[in-house]
């Protein structure tokens, strides 16, 4: 759970922040209303705690502004003024709760928990998933009757998955929920926390795939078995009864002991946690040193024309080093391009190098201030692994990578690549489908391959666009792309988690829905009902024409039946999901199959929602629009 605290009293701010952090919350804390506004309008929070009297923008105005913008995040106001008028005003402005200073920290915590539960539509502090129980009041987690000792990050990870139900949680969502906005974790950090969490769950008796990885998309909780589901109610109610008894017994909790039942952070505590003030000081330092560094860089550029051609690569290499330390990524990329050119051929000047040098000089001269310090793992230059035995293809990717400053590693065999994955992990893998078409590979071997990929995106390149090649790519856990596609190289530049298409929901009246079902009678009913709700509906009873219809309709949402003759609805969903164009398309299953396994298959295939027939059309319309809104909010810059 992520909380924003806006409080100008430094001591109180520090106290509340450290206390909440000890309670497993991720906290961003700022000291004035204007910064509070920019944080609250930029990042997603589960709760906002605002002081009433703040410099620049007071708490009431901030609250008012957020509500006017349609922000529904729960807000708790803190103030020293204990007057009835003020309380009424605060609540009328849109605050959800109100506390008068000085307050009891235990009471603040209890109010926070209540607000967070309300925000999530959760009535009880206990969240149950089969035999897995999480008590958000005490921070205790158990599987069956075995307690789990989790680190704070593991706890938050699990809490996020539990509060998302069967929905897929993307890596970006995990990053933004588990780390505060001034920390810069990398994706592999998420994987390492996940690995430890899985181990602990497994030791407590949970199935190994309780937290399932959906390649390239994220993670979700596998539905509990039906036996577990029946037991879930009673486990949860027993846990709640126990919780209530204990809460009564400890009406004045001992803060020392109730602070955090979790273990101290191990490796997590040394993640790239940068204190905001240190980051600011560092940036100021870079700025103080920039003018002299700028001169050094310009001097080096001037030397290029005077030195021997074979010394040029080394000179621009050292220039690149300095530019990188100051976070000048555009200039860094230009210097690297020059380095790459001069490494290959130490010939005299070419029009290309002259133009690159001129651009580089211009950027250096025009840079007056350093706006951002570099991140230790610049996202625009991901290491890339290439699986191919075709030299033309290898050269094509290599020359592109050299220009962009990528690191490349080549593999000829899937086995060699899989072996390397145990040691190291790239940001992305590009493979030729022909390298993977080995008839001797068994399905278990393929599963092992997919498992070793984790959430590393895999692009599978083919020369022909056929359903069979798309299926093959899917079975290898990759995203299909045509070799002739003009997007091929662009895809390599994208950050793995970046959404590939930005399909923002149009106004409700224009939402285009495509429904695939072999039952024509049902299709007709749904067509009219959804039209009454203002949707533009296209129905399809024959899946053979699916791909063509999908391309020409270009829907905003897709509704699939699980069982369509001749084709498996789940596999169809996977094929759609693996095309980058449709990665964000909301896919809802509407099925008569009301069992956990089918739900599981649907979510595993990339579905966003699963509903049973018959369905109330109002419910369906609501699910479609809320899914579109969710995507919109995630894709918003």
Partner 1 sequence: MTSSRQLLIIDDEETIQTVVDFGLKLSAGWSLLKASSGREGITIAQEHSPDAILLDVMMPEMDGVATFKALQADGQTNEIPVIFLTAKAQATEKSQLKALGVSGVITKPFNALDLPMLISRILHW
Residues within the interface to partner 1 (CB under 8 A): 184, 267, 270-274, 278-279, 281-282, 285-286, 289, 292-293, 296, 314, 317-318, 320-325, 327, 332, 336, 339-340, 373-378, 381, 383, 402, 405-409
Shortest CB 59 distance to partner 1, Å: 32
Torsion of CA 346, 352, 358, 361, to 10 degrees: -50
Task: Tell the smallest beta-carbon distance from residue 155 to partner 1 (Å).
Answer: 22
Query: In degrees, to the nearest 5, what angle opens at C-alpha 319 toward C-alphas 315 and 322?
Result: 145
The residues pairing with 2 across neighbouring beta strands, listed in sequence order, are 26
Q: 7: which residues sit within 8 A by CB, 6+ positions away?
A: 13, 16, 29, 31, 49, 50, 51, 54, 78
Upper half-sphere CA count for residue 51 (Cβ side, 13 Å): 26
* Least distance CB 328 / partner 1 (angstroms): 9
**Residue 352 CB, nearest distance to partner 1 (Å)?**
18
Give the residue from 153, 174, 152 showing the smallest Cα distance to 163: 174
Smallest gap, in angstroms, from Cβ of residue 285 to partner 1? Answer: 5
Nearer to partner 1, 178 or 474 (CB): 178
- What dihedral do alpha carbons 364, 366, 367, 369 form, nearest 10°? 160
User: Under DSSP, is residue 4 helix (H, G, I), strand (E, B) or coil?
Assistant: strand
Smaller CB distance to partner 1: residue 267 or 465?
Answer: 267
As beta bridge partners, residue 537 has 513
CA 304/CA 531 separation, integer angstroms = 68
* Closer CB to partner 1, 184 or 400, in the complex: 184
In terms of CB distance, is 113 or 300 closer to partner 1? 300
Identify which of residues 289 and 520 has a Cβ nearer to partner 1 in the complex. Answer: 289
- Tell me how far apart the alpha carbons of residues 386 and 417 are, in angstroms, rounded to a whole number: 9
CB of 490 to partner 1, least distance (A): 20
Phi/psi of residue 384, nearest 5 degrees: -125, 135
Minimum CB distance to partner 1 smaller for 204 or for 373: 373
CB of 340 to partner 1, least distance (A): 7
**Is 194 or 605 the residue whose CB approaches partner 1 more closely?**
194
Of residues 159 and 271, the one with the C-beta less far from partner 1: 271
- CB 366 to partner 1: min, Å: 19
Residue 169 and residue 214: Cα distance in Å, rounded? 9
Structure-block tokens of residue 616: 């109330």
Do 595 and 467 contact (CB within 8 A), yes or no?
A: no
């Amino acid at each position: 759970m992520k909380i924003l605290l806006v409080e100008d009293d430094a001591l109180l701010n520090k106290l509340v922040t450290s206390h909440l952090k000890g309670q497993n919350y991720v906290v961003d804390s700022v000291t004035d209303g204007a910064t509070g506004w920019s944080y609250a309008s930029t990042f997603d929070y589960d709760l906002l705690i605002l002081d009433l009297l703040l410099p620049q923008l007071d708490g009431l105005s901030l609250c008012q502004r957020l509500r006017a913008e349609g922000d529904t995040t729960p807000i708790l106001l803190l103030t020293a003024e204990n007057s009835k008028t003020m309380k009424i005003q605060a609540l009328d402005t849109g605050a959800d709760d109100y506390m008068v200073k000085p307050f009891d920290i235990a009471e603040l915590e209890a109010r926070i928990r209540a607000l967070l539960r309300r925000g999530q539509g959760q009535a009880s502090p206990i969240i149950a998933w089969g035999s897995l129980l999480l008590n958000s009041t005490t921070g205790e987690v158990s599987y069956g009757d075995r307690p789990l000792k989790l680190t704070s990050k593991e706890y938050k990870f699990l809490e996020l998955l539990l509060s998302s139900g069967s929905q897929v949680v993307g890596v970006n969502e995990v990053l933004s929920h588990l780390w505060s906005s001034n920390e810069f974790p990398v994706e592999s950090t998420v994987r390492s926390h996940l690995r430890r969490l899985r181990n602990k769950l497994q030791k407590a008796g949970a199935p190994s795939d309780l937290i399932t990885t959906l390649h390239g998309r994220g993670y979700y909780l596998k539905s509990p078995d039906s036996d577990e589901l029946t037991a879930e109610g009673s486990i949860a109610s027993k846990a709640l009864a126990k919780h209530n008894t204990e809460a009564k017994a400890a009406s004045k909790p001992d803060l020392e002991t109730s602070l955090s039942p979790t273990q101290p952070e191990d490796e997590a505590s040394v993640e790239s946690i940068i204190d905001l003030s240190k980051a600011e000081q560092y940036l100021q330092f870079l700025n103080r040193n920039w003018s002299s560094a700028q001169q050094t860089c310009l001097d080096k550029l001037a030397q290029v024309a005077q030195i021997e051609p074979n010394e040029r690569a080394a000179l621009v290499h050292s220039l690149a080093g300095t530019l990188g330390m100051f976070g000048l990524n555009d200039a860094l990329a230009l210097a690297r391009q020059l380095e790459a050119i001069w490494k290959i051929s130490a010939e005299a000047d070419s029009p290309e190098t002259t133009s690159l040098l001129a651009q580089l000089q211009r950027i250096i001269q025009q840079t007056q201030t350093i706006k951002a310090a570099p991140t230790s793992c610049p996202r625009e230059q991901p290491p890339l692994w290439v699986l191919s035995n075709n030299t033309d293809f290898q050269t094509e990717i290599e020359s592109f990578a050299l220009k962009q400053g990528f690191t490349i590693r080549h593999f000829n065999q899937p086995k060699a690549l899989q072996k390397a994955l145990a040691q190291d992990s790239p940001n992305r893998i590009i493979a030729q489908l022909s390298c993977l078409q080995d008839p001797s590979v068994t399905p278990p071997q393929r599963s092992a391959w997919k498992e070793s990929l984790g959430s590393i995106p895999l692009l599978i390149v083919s020369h022909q666009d056929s359903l069979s090649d798309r299926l093959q790519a899917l079975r290898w856990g990759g995203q299909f792309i045509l070799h002739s596609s003009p997007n091929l190289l662009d895809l390599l530049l994208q950050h793995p988690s970046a959404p590939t298409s930005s399909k923002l929901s149009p106004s409700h009246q224009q939402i285009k829905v495509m429904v695939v079902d072999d039952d024509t009678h049902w299709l007709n009913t749904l067509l009219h009902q959804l039209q009454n709700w203002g949707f533009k509906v296209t129905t399809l009873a024959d899946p053979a024409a699916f791909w063509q219809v999908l391309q020409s309709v270009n829907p905003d949402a897709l509704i699939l039946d699980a069982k369509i003759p001749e084709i498996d609805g789940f596999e169809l969903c996977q094929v759609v999901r693996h095309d980058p164009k449709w990665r964000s398309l909301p896919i809802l299953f509407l099925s008569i199959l009301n069992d956990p396994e089918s739900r599981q298959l649907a979510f595993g295939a990339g579905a966003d929602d699963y509903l049973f027939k018959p369905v109330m059309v109002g419910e369906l319309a609501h699910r479609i629009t809320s899914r579109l809104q969710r995507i919109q909010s995630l894709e918003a810059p």
